[in-house]
Amino acid sequence: MTETWNPADPGVLRLPSGRLIRGRGLRHPLPPGAPRPAYGVYLLARPPAGTAWDADWIRWPDFRLPADPAAPAVLAELWRRSAHERVEVACRGGRGRTGTALACVAVLDGVPPEEAVAYVRAHYDPHAVETPWQRRYVRRFGAPSGPARPEA
C-alpha cells in the first residue's frame, strides 16, 4: 500500500509524475498529530537531531551549495522513495536549500533544468531557491555531466 502525503497539506509539492514530497523548515516543529514521513533528507551545516524515521543528512551550509559529494545520490533516493512513501526534505527555513533540493528532484522527475526553479516557486514557495549559485546548481544538476536520471 502506498503511504503518501495529502496534496493539500502545507509544504507538499506535487511533481509532474504525481509523486508528492513535503518540504519544510525545521525551525517549525511538526504539528501534533501531523503525519510523519517514512524518510527524510535534512540539509544542514551540522548533523540534525535524530528522527523516529529513516533519514539522511546532506552537509549544506545556509545560503550555499551542498558540501557533500553524495548529494545527487541522496536526492535520487528521495525521488525514488517518493513513489511509494511519505518523504520530506527540510532545512532550517524551508526555502533556499529545501527549494534547491526540490528543484533538483523536479529535474529527476522530468522538469527541464532551466524550468525547475520556476516550477518549485509556482508549486511550493514563491521565494524558494534564494541565491544565484543555487539557481545555477539546479541548471547544472540536469546537465550531461550531472547525475543520471534514476529509473522509477
| Pairwise CA distance, residues 136 & 134, whole Å | 5
Q: Average pLDDT in the 116-127 region? A: 98
For residue 10, tell me if it sits in a domain: no
Orientation angle between helical segments 132-141 and 96-108, nearest 10 degrees: 20
Mean pLDDT of 86-114: 97
State the sign of the Cα–Cα–Cα–Cα dihedral 43, 48, 50, 51: negative
Domain containing 30 equals 17-141
Cα distance from N-terminal residue to C-terminal residue, the chain: 17
Give the pLDDT score at 120: 98
Say if pTM beats, i.e. exceeds, 0.85: yes
Residue 147, judged by CB atoms within 10 A of its CB (0-12, 13-18, 19+), counts as: middle
Residue 5 has pLDDT above 70, yes or no: yes
Distance CA 138, CA 61 (A): 16
Residue 143 confidence (pLDDT) above 80: no
The answer as to whether 137 is a domain residue is yes
Sorting pLDDT into bands at 50, 70 and 90, what band is 142?
confident
* Distance from chain centroid for Cα 68: 15
83 in any annotated domain: yes
Q: Note whether residue 55 is domain-resident.
A: yes
Confirm whether 151 is domain-assigned. Answer: no
Question: Which pLDDT value is given to residue 144?
Answer: 60
> Tell me, what's the pLDDT at 1?
42
- Domain count for the chain: 1
- Report if residue 1 sits inside a domain: no
Domain with 40 in it: what CATH number? 3.90.190.10
The pLDDT score that the predictor gives to residue 147 is 52
Q: What is the mean pLDDT of the chain?
A: 92
Q: Would 62 be classed as within a structural domain?
A: yes
What's the rounded mean pLDDT across residues 97-120?
98
DSSP state for residue 107 in the 8-state scheme: H
Whether 79 is in a domain gets the answer: yes
* pLDDT tens digits, 27-58: 988 878 889 999 999 999 999 988 999 999 99
